[in-house]
Amino acid sequence: MPIRQMKENSEQHFVIKPQVQNSMTQVQKNQKNLQNGKGPPTQNESQNAKINQHNSPPSKNRGRRRGRGGRKSDQSDIPMRPSSRPCTIVEKSMSEFPAIGKPVENGSVSVENGGNVCAMDMGFPSSSKSLRFAPRPGFGQAGTKCIVKANHFFAQLPEKDLNQYDVTITPEVVSRSLNRSIMAELVKLYKESDLGMRLPAYDGRKCLYTAGELPFTSREFNIKIVGEDDGMNGPKREREYKVVIKFVARANLHHLGQFLSGKCADAPQEALQILDIVLRELSTKKYCAVGRSFFSPDIRKPQRLGEGLESWCGFYQSIRPTQMGLSLNIDMSSAVFIEPLPVIEYIAQLLGKDVFSRILSDSDRVKIKKALRGVKVEVTHRGNVRRKYRVSGLTSQPTRELVFPVDDDSNMKSVVEYFQEMYGFTIQHTHLPCLQVGNQKKANYLPMEACKIVEGQRYTKRLNEKQITSLLKVTCQRPKDRENDILQTVRKNAYDEDPYAEEFGIKISEKLACVEARILPAPWLKYHDTGKEKDCLPQVGQWNMMNKKMINGSTVSRWACINFSRSVQESVARGFCNELAQMCQISGMEYNPEPVIPIYSARPEHVEKALKHVCNAASNKLKGKELELLLVILPDSNGSLYGDLKRICETDLGLITQCCLTKHVFKINKQYLANVALKINVKMGGRNTVLLDAISCRIPLVSDIPTIIFGADVTHPENGEDSSPSIAADWPEVTKYAGLVCAQAHRQELIQDLFKTWHDPVRGTVSGGMIRDLLISFRKATGQKPQRIIFYRDGVSEGQFYQVLLYELDAIRKACASLEPNYQPPVTFVIVQKRHHTRLFANNHKDRSSIDKSGNILPGTVVDSKICHPTEFDFYLCSHAGIQGTSRPAHYHVLWDENHFTADGIQSLTNNLCYTYARCTRSVSVVPPAYYAHLAAFRARFYMEPDLQENNSTGGSQPSVRATRGAGEVGVRPLPAVKDNVKRVMFYC
């Protein structure tokens, strides 16, 4: 299906004649639609929600804690206004979406019988407090029923009143840990007197919670805290703080009970937040808290990852509202921490060489400086005095050359002499630089050998490939082992003995929740009639290409191969290419076994020069014809080579490439070759397989009328712009996709270019954007305009549900209206989540009929009861077979549904689509439109010019991205144009 790169100068215009309606009648209709739940979110209200969000009480994770969209309990008070009013767009005529109208000289349209003209400015869409997510239409019945266990533990709702108090500490404290120390001292001193025997729970910031009221509404306390950094025998610093505690509100637990029983739609997020904080209070004191997880080297022995890093085991904990009532979700977690080594040993590991006697190079200094900046160290040369400092830099000179003034007369003393005279400490490794601590104006020098890294500091930078491999080995757990560890964690946490849980009247079960599930059947797949097997029924989520041929095999006549691996000889590369050609032919492609030019070998640092040489040589041999495919052999560890190659080929040369790693070239595996053949076929415009039901037009709410299925995602590079893609499926087979990508503001989750307008001096107001372009592409490919839209949106956390739905559904509406008056096909908007902590386990791990080879639940297992939302339309679907570790089901949440899907309808459609992923013969864990969108977004990150200095210093395989910003503004550099022959296949990688 053709793909259009978004360019302003390629905009095509329409003339449209609006349907003549009485404006009052339209308003009445819109109000009626609202009452029926049909009105979409609108265009002009969300600024208020955004402002309200920013004006809410300060809390770092407020939106996240609020759970589903940060929704408050009063959100049903304001009526919702529809956005699907008829609009007249100022554009010229076009055949894709024909309409009637008479163009006039100024570029607008003539309206024969009256009508309203409304501006289609983008703006920020509306947010309505009355917006309701789609209610659950019922429970699914399809599939084979079974029982699974979930890592959810029933939490009994307390009967006590929950009270919130505001905490103000003066002078202001930034550190949560210090805040907690101050409050712990206050409770210790005043619990039996001023606090009336209450044991409060504290969030470390501004909020204090109690079960029952305190004996006052407002009171001031003076608390003295002794600094811990000065050790046992040294002088201890004491500081006094003023703490004011003031009553704020009482949480309504009756409201929470009503919500859990499905009698009201709004979750009282404040009550849920209080209960969550209460259950986290004890663990916060015992463990290192990171987000919603807790880590400790005592839970399991830390595992070394190399270069001074180690993996700590921990657990995730969150209270959630579910159909079974309150549920405590517990899962195992892992995080990377800096190993608490002496600094000199740490840098030896970091550099991977002897530093005790060798002089450091400039590149060594840069690497050490980046690794240690911001890291907290403690001194070891003062006996029991273990004062802590945060590293700010590294000296450019070795320790033996460092001197500093010791008095106002500028008398100088060397660092070596000072430590010897002051502490009796002899610095041995004077060739090493010193650590700088403090600010630049008043920096102190600390010898490396006198410092040790403080335990419990999380490492948040990018890991290298070896570290990632080591981490995966540590975190990969079989389902049975993970289940046992979760149960052991719950028993060790002993919630029945938790004084805070007891204070607030919360009781936690120690048994995993048993949940009714169903195993949906796999769909039949259609292959080419010339193969021995014309169709196929996957078994346990997988199948193979034996005796089958691609339903639409492509043709590869002109190809070449370039080898960037020094260890691969030309004869080996030639043998690999021959084997791949044979596999492509066997699979149903027409593949020329001979390359256009001999295999060309090149060095990775000359990637651009080598690629252009191959292109020119092939073009000369073909007398002007272009290469269709370039095979690329890469070293196993290739740094930024892969990204550079894709960027050059896809945005400059217009080459479709297929990369293969050296290890696969040497060890030729039939399954690997078959998977590469599948990728080459779709890149060259073929199709591997389709759903038999799609061919037979038997897919409910898809086959009956032209339906476009979108997938959308946003990827967040570590620096610079984000790439947001939108992918759309061809109809009726829904296995072939078109895609677009765009760059947008850094860390912006909303996709900005779904729809946009701009002013052209000649054409006036011009409309564009990814949704609009893909609708036009669909029309060109199928001959029909979409009459139904299904939108799978990936990469959205619960706290962003409202914002994303309001903004992006509004953009879909505007994109449709810009093509034809009153063109508003019904939309189903589904959030896809993989970053959650719900795990499903077989009820009996010994029952081989209920698990796959890895011990995981069977593919097709769907759950929409008990652990799901009390009233909204969500479900968990494990659509894939596990390979290693514990399978993570995808969580699908239908936020908006104008197509009136049944539970079985959307669950079966989603499961069936997971068998259409083009790159392998397995069902995948996420619905393919969203999967492709994720791949497209990740690919687009390579299209930005890499910052070579950052690449070289981090050693990562992905280029960082540089944002271009003007003075006082946040600029977004657009992605370079992708060549036409690459656009349709870039997301197949």
Mean of the per-residue pLDDT values for the chain?
Answer: 82
CA 262 – CA 266 distance, rounded (Å)? 10
Q: Is 906 exposed, middle or buried (0-12, 13-18, 19+ CB in 10 A)?
A: buried
**Closest by CA position to 88, among listed 39, 150, 172, 21:** 21
pLDDT of residue 743: 62
Question: How large is the average pLDDT for residues 484-499?
Answer: 96
DSSP state of 652: I
pLDDT of residue 910: 97
Contacts of 948 (CB under 8 A, 6+ apart): none
pLDDT of residue 983: 64
Domain 694-944+973-988 adopts which CATH fold? Nucleotidyltransferase; domain 5 (3.30.420)
Task: Write the CA distances from 679 to 28, 631, 634, 635, 849, integer angstroms.
Answer: 53, 12, 17, 20, 33
pLDDT of residue 92: 35
The alpha carbon of 504 is separated from its chain's Cα centroid by a whole number of angstroms, namely 35
Q: What percent of the chain has pLDDT over 70?
A: 78
With a cut of 90, say whether residue 231 has pLDDT above it.
no
Q: Which residue's entry shows tokens 């996420």? A: 926
With a cut of 80, say whether residue 732 has pLDDT above it.
no
CA 25 – CA 964 distance, rounded (Å)? 49
pLDDT of residue 107: 34
CA 827 – CA 814 distance, rounded (Å)? 13
Return the SS3 of 495.
helix
With a cut of 70, say whether residue 228 has pLDDT above it.
no
Question: How large is the average pLDDT for residues 431-454?
Answer: 86
What are the residue ranges spanned by the domains of the chain? 155-338+469-513, 343-454, 553-686, 694-944+973-988
CA 728 – CA 739 distance, rounded (Å)? 6
* Range from 217-231, 266-280, 483-497 carrying the lowest mean pLDDT: 217-231
**Closest by CA position to 381, among listed 448, 439, 430:** 448
Q: What are phi and psi of 894, to 5 degrees?
A: -80, 105
With a cut of 60, say whether residue 414 has pLDDT above it.
yes
Q: What are phi and psi of 257, to 5 degrees?
A: -60, -40
- Which of the two residues, 863 and 11, has the higher pLDDT score? 863
Question: Could you check whether the bond before residue 215 is cis, i.e. omega within 30 degrees of 0?
Answer: no
Question: How large is the average pLDDT for residues 149-164?
Answer: 92
What would the pLDDT profile of 651-708 be if each residue is shown by its tens digit?
889 899 999 999 999 999 999 999 999 999 999 989 999 999 888 878 878 888 899 9
Encode 594-625: b = buried (16+ Cβ within 10 Å), e = exposed: ebbbebbbeebeebeebbeebbebbeeeeeee
Question: Could you check whether the bond before residue 135 is cis, i.e. omega within 30 degrees of 0?
Answer: no
What would the pLDDT profile of 11-21 be if each residue is shown by its tens digit?
333 332 333 33
Beta-carbon neighbour count of residue 973 at 10 Å? Answer: 15
What confidence tier does 377 reach under pLDDT thresholds 50, 70, 90?
Answer: very high
In CATH, what is the architecture of 343-454? Beta Complex (2.170)
**Closest by CA position to 180, among listed 205, 214, 216:** 205
Residue 454 one-letter amino acid: V
- Which of the two residues, 100 and 704, has the higher pLDDT score? 704
With a cut of 70, say whether residue 347 has pLDDT above it.
yes
Structure tokens at 600: 């060309």
- Which of the two residues, 299 and 959, has the higher pLDDT score? 299
Beta-carbon neighbour count of residue 878 at 10 Å? Answer: 30
Q: What is the DSSP string of 702-769?
A: TTSS-EEEEEE--B--SSS-EEEEEEEE-TTT---EEEEEEEE-TT--S-GGGSEEEEETTTEEEEE-
Structure tokens at 291: 């987000």
Question: How large is the average pLDDT for residues 428-454?
Answer: 87
* Range from 547-556, 727-736, 829-838, 862-871 carrying the lowest mean pLDDT: 727-736
With a cut of 60, say whether residue 827 has pLDDT above it.
yes
With a cut of 50, say whether residue 467 has pLDDT above it.
yes
Q: Which residue's entry shows tokens 């499905």? A: 262
What would the pLDDT profile of 738-785 be if each residue is shown by its tens digit?
766 666 555 566 777 788 888 888 888 888 888 998 899 888 888 889
CA 343 – CA 366 distance, rounded (Å)? 16
What would the pLDDT profile of 3-55 be if each residue is shown by its tens digit?
333 333 333 333 323 333 333 333 344 434 433 444 444 444 443 443 334 33
CA 908 – CA 925 distance, rounded (Å)? 14
Contacts of 691 (CB under 8 A, 6+ apart): 523, 524, 525, 526, 699, 733, 734, 735, 912, 915, 916
Q: Could you tell me if 350 and 370 are in contact, meaning their C-beta atoms sit under 8 angstroms apart?
A: no
Q: Could you tell me if 304 and 262 are in contact, meaning their C-beta atoms sit under 8 angstroms apart?
A: no
Q: Could you tell me if 89 and 816 are in contact, meaning their C-beta atoms sit under 8 angstroms apart?
A: no
End-to-end CA distance of the chain: 16
Structure tokens at 151: 């890592």
Structure tokens at 813: 């509406």
pLDDT of residue 696: 80
Q: What are phi and psi of 126, to 5 degrees?
A: -80, 155
Q: Is 964 exposed, middle or buried (0-12, 13-18, 19+ CB in 10 A)?
A: exposed
Question: How large is the average pLDDT for residues 463-488?
Answer: 94
Question: How large is the average pLDDT for residues 394-423?
Answer: 89
Domain 553-686 adopts which CATH fold? Rossmann fold (3.40.50)
Residue 116 one-letter amino acid: N
With a cut of 60, say whether residue 67 has pLDDT above it.
no
CA 647 – CA 948 distance, rounded (Å)? 14
- Which of the two residues, 105 and 728, has the higher pLDDT score? 728
CA 678 – CA 551 distance, rounded (Å)? 11
How are beta strands 144-150 and 513-519 bridged, if at all?
A: antiparallel
